Homo-oligomer: A and B are copies of this chain.
């Protein structure tokens, strides 16, 4: 027969599933030798059996409870219902996952018209005894028979009016005695029966009522909101009562073992003398800080400190403790892992490490990704969020939260920012021309585009919150309005943006600040130590790179050169280049661009300071550099001295049906190889400048969009010829690498061939995912939300690796490539390089490094440290 009851002596913390959090932790504290009132726990399986049985106790339960009570009586030297030493008990719910306040509790069971008298005489405090009794009648009536609390409160209030007093505590023992009589009267009126005088009957009814509370409406809603399985059931813990209000040598309190805001190693809590928990809630008296206890009850304080340290050491987490002092005797009533800020959590873990309480591996295991995100980005408080519905919902494109006024163009955003306004930039979609506006904004909202759209990628790079692909928004930049089924906003209106959830609010929330503390920095060092593969950063500018290096990136896995062409003086040259008819006409703009690029790369190399720097040659199709609106077109035609018709014709020639799969990357360079030659010349020349200064720079040149080894062979030969000429001229022996993006499915399928011609591989997961799924990144927002909603996809494959499809193909490619070239260095520089789950997968299939936007470096490091430890563990086992 199944065992439905465990005494505290039989339980332990690992039995949470069976005993609930409270029951397991009480047993554990008991095992640790802490002063805990005795008791026993009815298991969650008992609860389930109760429900299976049609809400009837399993046959033998009554007998078993009686037996357990017998033992409790022996332990406490009291008797349940005894008139000599009456045993009073509490009946409390305790589920596996914390559901604070959602289920019911009944205290003081065992009191009746007779035992209450005994309690009064034993304690010499009639007031105390009858107060306990009237609380029992009220709680029992309310929980077991659903008598509204007000039915009792009215009588209480009436009595206080009669007595002309304000506070319950001003009532005398006699007042309370008469109240118990009135309460019993109400009980009988409401239920048609007498308040049970048999303690055993009280206990059984109370237990049943607590089981029933598993399905009360509050609990159901809470479980739904928090994804708690209803089939877990609740345990019920039955425990001897202790009283913090049992005279001046009594008291009650709560305490965190460390400071939950900043993690400081110092008890952080409060207590009230001669009071019960509910008195603290009532707020009659101001509690004292826990440190006062050292003065008031020094022995107890010393004992408390010892026990708290013991608990912390034992649980290896900061503890949140409830305690009671009953007539000079300290009791621990609850302990659990304490809620704390990310900053505190990290501080505590690093302290635990320093104290030898945790190993490095344990610290890595205990750091969560949420913790890291919260430490890195500002956020809104959960409590506040719960009180406001979002105005609109889009894709959580770049984490963090911000509030500000909305502006509809980069120019307006800049202007407002100059007037010290907090700006939210709102665009249908951003293009590289918006970059100045994006830089000054607190957050970015777009109505189109997905997780890898321009807005999303750039925002993540800058650590700016972004909600992208918010399809329900109709953005009219001209009229400066933002329309949503739920209302219209205009320029200057306030919005709050939560880039971590993709939600936008019209309520102006307060922001919790980020916490990049010394402990965070120590953690970064630890994570780097613990990872067996590198984390590089995607960085297009020296600023990006500095951020990345601060977070411990070991180099740059991806520098996108196209973003370098958008400053006005460069863009005009780029346009001149694109619109040139002949190779000769291309020469002038190419020379100018080479000049710009050389200084770009010089700055980056200098900042990277001998760390590897992978530069991707021009990737996007030409038309991305061309103007879209008429006034800009006219200006361009004028600047270039060509007719509008000529310009229009060239623009139309460059138009593509599916530009993502069009004339771009190495394909464009096959048609106009002099562009790559210019870029490579700039790279080598800038490296030579640093070489002259005594720095060892090994440029890594990366070719995008290779699908066949023949392409890479041709281009490699072409570029090497150009480089050799430069090096011979400068009499330099600079080493350099030429590698390729692996982002076309065909490159994966023929990776063994390509491996022979490449010095390194770098997976471009954005393009690869796009092609493996046939999901256009720019258009996916039209159907992806529905796909996620219908469960057709477990997650957005642009955010988290699709292991079965994209991942499988990457794995194949790595196997093929490493077989052909075991020494080949293989990285991932696509968006997924910063996603923890994806990074763990990449680790498992043998990539040598991942590269991600600077603000995701810490997350990637954490994922890799975790994955490395796991892999290590497997090996050991």
Contact = CB atoms under 8 A, between A and B. Distances in A.
Contact of A710 (B659, B771, B792): B792
A776 B710 contact: no
Q: How many copies does the complex hold?
A: 2
Residue of A657, A743, A776 contacting most chain B CB atoms (<10 Å): A657
Interface in A698-746: 705, 707-708, 710-711, 714, 743-746
B663 A661 contact: no
A691 to B, nearest CB: 34
Interface in A620-679: 656-663, 667-668, 670-671
Contact of A670 (B656, B714, B792): B792
Given A714-B790, A745-B772, A792-B670, A660 B662 contact: no
A750 B804 contact: yes
B750 A792 contact: no
A224 to B, nearest CB: 24
A786 interface: yes
Contacts of A7: none
A72 interface: no
A783 interface: yes
Interface stretch (A14-22, A805-813, A831-839): A805-813
A805 B661 contact: no
B778 A658 contact: yes
A165 interface: no
A219 interface: no
A192 interface: no
Contacts of A540: none
Contacts of A707: 773-775, 805
A454 to B, nearest CB: 11
A793 interface: yes
Contact of A745 (B662, B668, B774): B774
A660 B770 CA distance: 11
A232 interface: no
A802 to B, nearest CB: 7
Contact of A746 (B656, B663, B773): B773
Contacts of A671: 782-783, 786
Contacts of A782: 656, 662-663, 671
A750 B708 CA distance: 24
A750 B806 CA distance: 10
A749 B805 contact: yes
A746 B809 CA distance: 9
A750 B772 CA distance: 11
A779 interface: yes
A264 to B, nearest CB: 49
A671 B750 CA distance: 36
A861 to B, nearest CB: 30
A145 interface: no
A787 interface: yes
A767 interface: yes
Given A671-B783, A790-B670, A802 B746 contact: yes
A803 to B, nearest CB: 11
A668 B802 CA distance: 22
Contact of A778 (B657, B776, B783, B802): B657
Contacts of A805: 707-708, 745-746, 749-750
A670 B775 CA distance: 14
A779 B714 contact: no
A33 interface: no
A809 B767 CA distance: 18
A661 B776 contact: yes
B662 A776 contact: yes
B662 A661 contact: no
Nearest to A769: B746
Interface in A747-801: 749-750, 753, 767, 770-776, 778-779, 782-783, 786-787, 790-793
Contacts of A791: 710
Given A670-B787, A783-B671, A661 B775 contact: yes
A674 to B, nearest CB: 15
A745 B663 contact: no
Nearest to A668: B783
Nearest to A746: B805
Contacts of A661: 658, 660-661, 770-771, 774-776, 779
Contacts of A708: 792-793, 805
Nearest to A662: B779
Contacts of A711: 792
Given A658-B661, A808-B749, A774 B779 contact: no
Contacts of A790: 670, 714
Contacts of A778: 656-658
Interface in A80-124: none
A670 B787 CA distance: 8
Interface in A463-499: none
Contacts of A750: 804-805, 808
A636 to B, nearest CB: 22
A94 to B, nearest CB: 38
Contact of A657 (B772, B776, B793): B776
Residue of A668, A705, A707, A770 contacting most chain B CB atoms (<10 Å): A707
A275 to B, nearest CB: 57
A767 B657 CA distance: 14
Contacts of A662: 776, 779, 782
Contact of A767 (B656, B774, B793): B774
A729 B790 CA distance: 29
A755 B692 CA distance: 62
Given A661-B660, A771-B774, A774-B771, A746 B792 contact: no
A705 B787 contact: no
Contact of A658 (B660, B743, B792): B660
Given A657-B779, A659-B658, A714-B792, A744 B767 contact: no
Contacts of A774: 660-661, 705, 707, 743-746, 767, 771
Given A793-B710, A805-B750, A779 B745 contact: no
Contacts of A804: 749-750, 753
B749 A659 contact: no
A176 to B, nearest CB: 64
A746 B774 CA distance: 8
A718 B201 CA distance: 55
Contacts of A793: 708, 710
A659 B660 CA distance: 10
A809 B658 contact: no
A332 to B, nearest CB: 50
A767 B745 CA distance: 13
23 contacts: A658-B779, A660-B774, A661-B770, A661-B771, A662-B776, A663-B779, A663-B782, A663-B783, A668-B783, A670-B787, A671-B783, A705-B774, A708-B792, A710-B791, A744-B774, A745-B772, A745-B773, A746-B772, A746-B773, A746-B774, A746-B805, A746-B806, A750-B808
Given A657-B776, A662-B782, A750-B805, 9 more contacts: A658-B658, A658-B779, A668-B783, A705-B774, A707-B773, A711-B792, A714-B790, A744-B772, A745-B772
Nearest 6 A-B pairs (CB), nearest first? A657-B778, A661-B776, A658-B776, A746-B805, A662-B779, A658-B658
